[in-house]
Chain A
Amino acid sequence: MSNPNIATPIQETLKAARAAALFKRWAPPIILPLLGILVFLLCWQGLANNVQTSLGQFPGPLQVSEQFSGLVSAHLREKDKANAFYERQEKRNAELLAKNPDAEVRIRPYTGKPTFVQQIFTSLYTVMTGFIIASLVAIPLGIVCGLSKTIYTAINPLIQVFKPVSPLAWLPLVTMLVSALYVSENPLFAKAFLTSAFTVALCCLWPTVINTTVGVASIDQDLNNVSKVLRLSPLTHVRRIVIPAALPMIFTGLRLSLGTGWMVLIAAEMLAQNPGLGKFIWDEFQNGSSNSLGRIMVAVIVIGLIGFALDRLMLLLQRLFSWDKNAVLR
């Protein structure tokens, strides 16, 4: 038996309490960041309105979002054009074949200007190539340095000297080396791509080397003793003990490396003229239209978002491969 005069206020109170609890649970993780972004956008717009450059007014968030949709629709238009181009060729080839079944037919590749979206993918492809090259060198090197104090002592000064070198310093050397060594009639890779990828590799090598070394060197002595008692061969020791034990640190290194690599890539692409985001920014800057600054800002935001996404991806992989499920990874 319930008294409606009492039940309703109680239900109201409960509802209010639930709403308050929900707010308390979700306010910090969602509302606070949104608030931060909003304040930032307002400040940006306010400041942008007051800055005049030789290319016109500095773009605020509104102009940037216009440029963003402009770039996306340009990409879609270009894609339609490319499709139409291929369709025309196929039609012509079909007609040729209908007249003469032995006719030699070819499909010519579409040679339009790469769009913003294509440039994003070029950048991702380039950074991944550089990152994979770096990892293939850095992980074995780190394991060797972690296992042998002698080798570590011998190599450490080199690591410390090369680690702080800017990608811009490496780039001319890499460019000349690629030109000198990669000589081919019909090259599989563009030279600008190779130069950018190698520069990325050179710069993002070090965090993985250092973290792998530390991870391997700090393996619990008891686990090494287990390996000794079992007389594991050096290769089995590395495979069954060293790599699993150092895996969390290796991943920490890889995450840092990928972050560095992504930063380095933009600079490398600008100078090497690899058709990715770096070249996009450089071309817009040289182009100097009233839309350029807005477009560059779009690239800045996209670069930031992709960098963030890459880091989350590595974190996901780290969680997947980590045997220590209690470790706090952030």
Chain B
Amino acid sequence: MRHTHLELTGVGIDFPTDKGLFCALSNVNLKIAKGEFVSLIGHSGCGKSTVLNIVAGLYQATNGGVILDGREVDEPGPERAVVFQNHSLLPWLSCYQNVELAVRQVFQGKKSRREMREWIEHNLALVHMTHAKDKRPSEISGGMKQRIGIARALAMQPKVLLMDEPFGALDALTRAHLQDSLMDIHAELGNTVIMITHDVDEAVLLSDRIVMMSNGPAATVGDILKVELERPRDRMALAHDSRYHEYRAAVLEFLYQRQQRPAA
């Protein structure tokens, strides 16, 4: 195993409710290496997003903690950029300005005005959105919005990219396009990525490891599946690869036999 980059140790969180404390997560342990692509998968309500929010610093863990490059995470910051499920672009800014807001904030005093402009345009090009840079979020499709959301996160040059069901709201074709783009970007930049997903195929296709979470309350890491498919991965070739189907079956088995879907 490579050098540990991000480490969650004994992470647990309690939420106050009317009926007392609700233990959403308990004793989550996870070590992630630099450049690794990790998916979190589990039934809805099992606390996947909570884990992500704790790593992002948006929630404070009740027990345990998160260490990134030897420093404890206790507040949100751009070195742990988040791609939100519903894109969360500022609707009153153009695509360019949305990325610009992040770039200005992160690179103030480190890049000149021209360097910033080039960096914003570079990131928009990375997600193939140069053509729509002056459009408002309301004028582009859902998939395009998510591309801009990814560009904004990447433009922060984060140590870890946190993605909260980034493609959950998209149709299957758009999702496939974005998955391919994300694989290209990951191959090029080598970011460490934690992604939440509901989609078993997505998890197997993209991940180096799939973290399968048990159902809450007191959810925790149920099992971890290492996906040893060589990169670059091609979804068409994998469709006929028996290993791909074994991984897929393993995740499905965890989700539907070992962790029965809670009464929803």
Contacts and interface: CB of A to CB of B under 8 A. Distances in A.
A229 B102 CA distance: 9
Interface residues of B, number: 23
Interface string B232-245: 00000000000000
B15 to A, nearest CB: 15
Contact of A230 (B84, B92, B105): B105
A226 B162 CA distance: 13
B158 to A, nearest CB: 9
B107 to A, nearest CB: 12
22 contacts: A222-B86, A222-B88, A223-B88, A223-B90, A225-B76, A225-B82, A225-B84, A226-B82, A226-B88, A228-B57, A228-B75, A229-B76, A229-B78, A230-B78, A230-B102, A230-B106, A230-B156, A231-B75, A231-B77, A236-B105, A323-B92, A324-B138
A292 B47 CA distance: 75
Contact of B88 (A225, A244, A326): A225
B209 to A, nearest CB: 24
Contacts of A245: 90, 92
B58 to A, nearest CB: 6
A232 interface: yes
Top 5 A-B residue pairs of the complex, sorted by shortest distance between their CB atoms: A323-B92, A222-B88, A228-B76, A244-B92, A230-B105
A220 interface: yes
Interface string A232-253: 1000100011001101000000
A29 B106 CA distance: 53
* Residue of A232, A240, A326 ringed by the most chain B CB atoms within 10 A: A240
A232 B77 CA distance: 10
B13 interface: no
A226 B138 contact: no
A230 B101 contact: yes
A222 B53 CA distance: 12
B210 interface: no
* Residue of B75, B86, B105 ringed by the most chain A CB atoms within 10 A: B105
Interface in B148-168: 156
Contacts of A228: 57-58, 75-76
B145 interface: no
Interface size for chain A: under 10, 10 to 19, 20 to 34, or 35 or more residues?
20 to 34
Given A228-B57, A230-B106, 20 more contacts: A223-B88, A225-B56, A225-B58, A225-B84, A226-B84, A226-B88, A226-B90, A228-B75, A229-B58, A229-B78, A230-B101, A230-B102, A231-B76, A231-B77, A236-B105, A244-B90, A245-B90, A245-B92, A323-B136, A326-B138
A325 interface: yes
B91 interface: yes
B128 to A, nearest CB: 22
B138 A325 contact: yes
A69 to B, nearest CB: 48
A240 B75 CA distance: 21
A126 B40 CA distance: 63
A16 B76 CA distance: 69
Contacts of B219: none
B81 interface: yes
Interface in B38-88: 56-58, 75-78, 80-82, 84, 86, 88
B91 A323 contact: yes
Contacts of B136: 323
A143 to B, nearest CB: 16
Interface in A60-119: none
A232 B84 contact: no
Contacts of A223: 88, 90
A231 B78 contact: yes
Contacts of B81: 229
Contacts of B138: 324-326
Nearest to A241: B90
Contacts of B82: 225-226, 229
A324 to B, nearest CB: 7
A232 to B, nearest CB: 6
A229 B77 contact: yes
A324 B78 contact: no
Contacts of B90: 223, 226, 240-241, 244-245
A225 to B, nearest CB: 6
A241 B88 CA distance: 12
* Residue of A225, A245, A326 ringed by the most chain B CB atoms within 10 A: A225
A113 to B, nearest CB: 50
Nearest to B105: A230
A204 to B, nearest CB: 27
Contacts of B80: 229
Contacts of A323: 91-92, 136
A326 B139 CA distance: 11
Nearest to B56: A229
A216 B249 CA distance: 48
B130 to A, nearest CB: 22
A321 to B, nearest CB: 10
A81 to B, nearest CB: 53
A61 to B, nearest CB: 47
Contacts of A231: 75-78, 105
